[in-house]
C-alpha cells in the first residue's frame, strides 16, 4: 500500500510543478490574442472641404472619430481628404476676425445654408423682402448647429443710414457673384 501512496504523491508533485508552467503559457497566449486582435484606428479624414468654424457632424469624417470629435468646431479650413486632429478642433467656434468692420448676424436654416453652397469668405447679397440690402458683401464666419446657421456678414459703409436689427430678421443670403435678390419666398 505504501508503494501506491508513493506513486500518488509523485503524481501530485509532478502536477504541482506543471501548474506554474501552464499558468505562464496561458498568460502568454492571452497576451498574444490581445495584441493580435487589436486594430489600429485610422486617423480621422475629412470627406469634404470644410471651413474654419464648421461644427463637425456625422458624415464629415471617414472614420468613427465623430464619436470623439463630433460637435466640436474647426479652428482652420480642411480640404477633402485632409487629416483632422484633436488640436484642430475646439468646443466653441473661433471668433470672427474682422477688425473695424460693421457686421450683421443672419440666422438661416441649416438646409438653406447647405443648398446655398457658400462659406466663409464668400461674396453674398443680403436680401430683405426680395430687395438687395447693401450690395455685395462677404461672409466673415459661420456657426452651424443641427437646425440653424448663424452667418456673420460684413456690412459695407452705409452713409447716412442706420441699420435696425429688426429689418434683417427675415433676411436671406444669396451668392453675390451669381444671383441678385429675387422676390421673397412664399
Reduced 3-state DSSP string for the chain: CHHHHHHHHHHHHHHHHHHHHHHHHHHHHHHHHHHHHCCCCCCCEECCCECCCCECCCCCECCCCHHHHCCCEECCCECCCCECCHHHEECCCCCCCCCCCEEEEEEEEHHHHHHHCCCCCCEEEEEECCEEEEEEEEEEEEEECCCEEEEEEEECCCCCCCCCCCHHHHCEEEECCCCCCCCCCC
Q: What is the pTM of this model?
A: 0.47
pLDDT at 185 (0 to 100): 47
Q: pLDDT tens track of the chain, all 186 residues?
A: 678 788 888 888 777 777 888 888 888 888 888 777 666 667 788 888 888 878 888 778 877 666 677 788 888 888 888 888 888 888 877 766 666 678 888 888 888 888 877 777 888 888 888 888 878 888 888 887 778 888 888 887 777 777 777 777 778 888 777 667 764 444
> Which position has the grid cell 505504501?
2
Amino acid at each position: 500500500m505504501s508503494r501506491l501512496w508513493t506513486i500518488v504523491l509523485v503524481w501530485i508533485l509532478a502536477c504541482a510543478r506543471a501548474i506554474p508552467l501552464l499558468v505562464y503559457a496561458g498568460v502568454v497566449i492571452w497576451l498574444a490574442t490581445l495584441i493580435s486582435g487589436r486594430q489600429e484606428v485610422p486617423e480621422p479624414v475629412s470627406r469634404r472641404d470644410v471651413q474654419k468654424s464648421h461644427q463637425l457632424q456625422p458624415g464629415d469624417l471617414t472614420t468613427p472619430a465623430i464619436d470623439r470629435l463630433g460637435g466640436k468646431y474647426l479652428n482652420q479650413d480642411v480640404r477633402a481628404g485632409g487629416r483632422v486632429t484633436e488640436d484642430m478642433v475646439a468646443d466653441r467656434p473661433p471668433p470672427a476676425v474682422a477688425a473695424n468692420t460693421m457686421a450683421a448676424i443672419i440666422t438661416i436654416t441649416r438646409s438653406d445654408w447647405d443648398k446655398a453652397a457658400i462659406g466663409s469668405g464668400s461674396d453674398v447679397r443680403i436680401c430683405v423682402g426680395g430687395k438687395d440690402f447693401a450690395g455685395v458683401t462677404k461672409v466673415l464666419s459661420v456657426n452651424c448647429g443641427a437646425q440653424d446657421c448663424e452667418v456673420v456678414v460684413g456690412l459695407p459703409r452705409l452713409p447716412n443710414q442706420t441699420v435696425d436689427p429688426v429689418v434683417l430678421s427675415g433676411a436671406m443670403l444669396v451668392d453675390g457673384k451669381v444671383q441678385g435678390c429675387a422676390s421673397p419666398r412664399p
